[in-house]
Structure 1
Amino acid sequence: MRSQSGVKKMLKPVNILLVGVGGQGTILATRVLAKAAQDAGYDIKVSEIKGMAQRGGSVVTQVRLGQKVYSPVIGQGSADVILAFEKMEALRWLPYLKADGHMIINDQAIPPVPVLTGAAAYPDDCLARVRQAVPQTVAVDALNIAIQCGNARAANVVLMGLLARRLPIDKATWLQALRQRVPAQFIEVNLQAFERGYNL
C-alpha cells in the first residue's frame, strides 16, 4: 500500500485503528488523516470513542477509507493498520488487527489510573508481546523525535508520517492536510515532525 506519485487507488477499503490516551493528539491525527483521504478522492467514515479523554483515558478512532465505504465500524480481526500512540494501548487493541496487518507503535508508557493508584501493574513486556504476534511491527520513540523537532506534542504527527508511507495518498496531499488542520503557530514544527516520521 506504499504511497507514491501516480499510485493507483485501492480497490477495497482500508481499515485503520488509531489508539492512545487523552492528551496525545489522537483526535487531531484522525482529522488530518480524514482530510488527506478526502482530498485524495476517497470515501471515508470515522467513528470516535473517547473514554475519559481529558483524564488520560483510552481514546480510540476507527477510520475506514476506500472507493465506497458504508460503515465506520471495524470489527475484531479486520484492521489493516493499528496506529498506537501508547504501547499498552497497542497490546489492548491487538485482537482487532488482521493476521497480515501492520502495527505502528509509539514506544511510550503512560500509566492509566488503575496503575497510578496501585490497583494494577503496567505490563513491562508490551512491545515483546505485540512483536511476537505481529511480525510487521514498527516501534519508534516518537516523543523523543518530536522533542528534537521542538515540541513534544508533535509526537502524533511523527506517527502520522510513518502511517503516510503505508497508504495510497500522495505526500503533498498529507502536507496540505496538515497545513489546514494544524494551528498556524505550530505548523513548521509539525511539518518537520511529519518529515521525520515519513523518512524513518
Structure 2
Amino acid sequence: MDKTITNIIFSGVGGQGVLVMSDILAIVAMKGNYDVKKSEVHGMAQRGGSVISHLRFGDKIFSPLIPQGEADFIVSMEKLEALRVLNFLRPNGIILLNLCIIPPLGVLTGKEKYPLNIEGSLSERGKVVSIPALEIAKSLGNPRAGNVVMLGVLSQYLPFSPLLWEEAIKERFPKKYHSLNLEAFRKGREFRGK
C-alpha cells in the first residue's frame, strides 16, 4: 500500500452520525498500520447544527487539521454542509454527497434561502458522487444507517480491505446493530454513482 497522506473531511448536521463515520475510518486506518489523526468541530450539534471532522492518515501525521485546499475527499451527509467545507477540497478532489437537505434555522425562520444548485457549485471544484444514502438505509429498515452507507461508498476509494471495515464497524457498534450496519456498508460498497 502507498502510505502517502490521505485527507478526508466529514460533514453534516448533528444526529447524522458524522463523528461515527470518522471514528470508524480511524479504526480502519489504524488496523491498516497507518498513523491517524482526527479533529472534530461541532457547534450546536444536538440541535441540528454543523458537525465537521477532519481525518488524516499516512506514514506520519503531525497535525489533525487539514489545510484549506488539501482534502482528497469530502464525505457529506447534507448538501449545504458540503458547500460549507468546499474550501478544504483540493482541486479535482472527490465529494461524496448524500442527497439530503436539512434546512438550517435561518431558512426555517424565513430569514435566509436554501441555496439552489449546490451540486453544480460543488462540481466546479471536484468530482461529485451523489448518493441516496438515506433511501438506501430506509430500504434496510433504519434511516440512521445512512452514514454507514456513505462509508461503504468511501471504501471503494481507499486502500483497505472490506474485512478491515467490517471489523471496525463491529468494534464501533453494539452487537445488536452489527447486522444492520454491515448490510448498510455492503450496500454502499456496491453503489455505483455517476
Residue in structure 2 matching 1:154, options 130, 142, 145: 145
Aligned-residue offset at 1:74: 0.6
Determine if the alignment matches structure 1 residue 45 to structure 2 residue 47: no
Partners of 1:124 and 1:188 in 2: CA distance: 37
Q: Secondary structure at the match of 1:122?
A: coil
Over aligned residue pairs, what C-alpha RMSD do you find?
0.9
Aligned 1:48-63 pairs, distance under 5 A: 48-63=40-55
Q: Show the counterpart of 2:74.
A: 82
Q: Distance in 2 between matches of 1:100 and 1:138?
A: 12
Which runs of 5 or more structure 2 residues have no equivalent in the other structure? none
Q: Paired residues, what number? A: 191
8 Å Cα contact 2:18/2:51 also seen in 1: yes
- Which residue of 2 is the match for residue 171 of structure 1? 162
Pairs within 5 Å for 1:95-114 = 95-114=87-106
Aligned match of 2:57: 65
Q: CA deviation at 1:123?
A: 1.0
* Counterpart pick for 1:18 among 3, 10, 28: 10
Amino acid at match of 2:73: V
Aligned to 1:140: 131
**Runs ≥4 residues deviating over 3 A:** none
Q: In structure 2, what residue type is equivalent to 1:28?
A: V
TM-score for both structures, normalised by structure 1: 0.93
Deviations 1:11-59 (A, max 9, x none): 3210000010000001111111111111111100010001100000000
Unaligned runs of 5+ in 1: 1-7
Higher relative contact order (CA 8 A, sep 6+): 1
Give % identity.
42
Distance, in Å, in 1 between the alignment partners of 2:56 and 2:124 is 26
